Structure 1
């Protein structure tokens, strides 16, 4: 057995937190009979609060296991794989799986032929479950996996009507809090650079921007919205376009830190001072946000918690078989730095 990572909760710690015995926690994890419903709920709450991930390798599992799960990236644009979001998510998922005895397999699926090929691979028992990220609107792969009864958890959602299990950040609330902060700072000519609008996360961040303006009695103007693909290059182009349309812009919310970094470059090239002339807020809070000039105010996504929650939901589906789909939305936090 490998050494336990510092900070990784143990079965004993869950038991202490729930004020029950170690055996009771084990029975709850294994969905065994003989546990009162109130006790079961108490243990499940402790597991949730501590972020405990069961060690499947230490348990006797019914049926054949591959002891592997697939992380499937469905992003058709190869440039996106260079963005910090992908590496951060992969790291958080790998950390969450460290003590489970389960291998994380990275797979790229970008075409219908690749979707079908992956489905047959997964149905062949080569993986026990699937983690999906960067799923765009209309992607059929989650439906195909659900129809094949393969345990599946999405990072984000395809729409507000998503039925497959997912973990998401509160994108609407995060964007709303960012724009509300700009408004409290006296900014009134606020623009936004969105992500690709066939991603539901980008739609939600745009909605949060709109809601914050509406709550302040300001009218939403489509000309103050520019779309990007989350890259720095697209952020530069979008910001230059917005300045040309509206020279009076005094604030901007960018849908990612990378996009915001590109926007900062465009503002500098246009002779605009940040934050004196234009305040800039990003979204993610990766290490990049502390390397920009000035350092970036941003909406922090709880990446570690997202990884733990995705793994927890997937392990539950793998253990319990057919279960009701679970939806988890995690809170964001506005981190104030020098760009505002």
Structure 2
């Protein structure tokens, strides 16, 4: 099984990519939907329609750029969950139909496993075992990774994910969507030490996260400061999130006695978070490249290669909007 196409449609990015067992990543296209900005968050029906509209043309363009045809594909990998049910169904039905037409296997991939394994596409790649921080708009979790498919959940958010907290803070500050990059841009001109922000759940044992209290603190602060103070608010909020995540990561490494941390997901692109992790963990941190931090087909094609033994040809279309990562087996 040499050439695998990966198809990602779990939320508001349409991603397609080609992975070759010998050459690695051959091609990668991502379309980020813009219509959701007017609503301050992802509208599931709009996301599904955009995937339907963009996916076929992106597959053709990807193959053309690689100077390949569909007949060169040995398998089709797709995101089966977790994610938005309608969006997942678009990618799953397209993938299963394509696989059936080509008489090749279809491979269902866990979205967060795709993120978790994405730093293995880089050079140097981390060796197993490691602790993974998966941090995005929908997920914030720490996972002990003993090897492929051997995952143990160490802690997760009890309420808002870190990326969700960024989005909500962006709305409080009158910024656009997605909120993470907008808050980070504003924070570049702010003083992170001007206002006091809590570091939630860092003063108690455990590896779970909570960001709802930080969001409430930020809302109350925004209500009493002037607009010219918003850059300082953004910087203080961003620093609080970065330090909270870094403290828990260092604690997880200590508790598991592992030496390496992998960080993946959209929030892993945040430069303040990366700097804080490097400061506290002294170079033991591995990241995907910036283009692979957000949702993409490359991570799905790559994870599909790892999951190739589970490829199926039964033609069934099934998605799992909720799918615990520690339920996977290698």
TM-score, normalisation: structure 2: 0.35
Give the number of the structure whose alpha-carbon radius of gyration is greater.
Answer: 1
Higher relative contact order (CA 8 A, sep 6+): 2
TM-score, normalisation: structure 1: 0.34
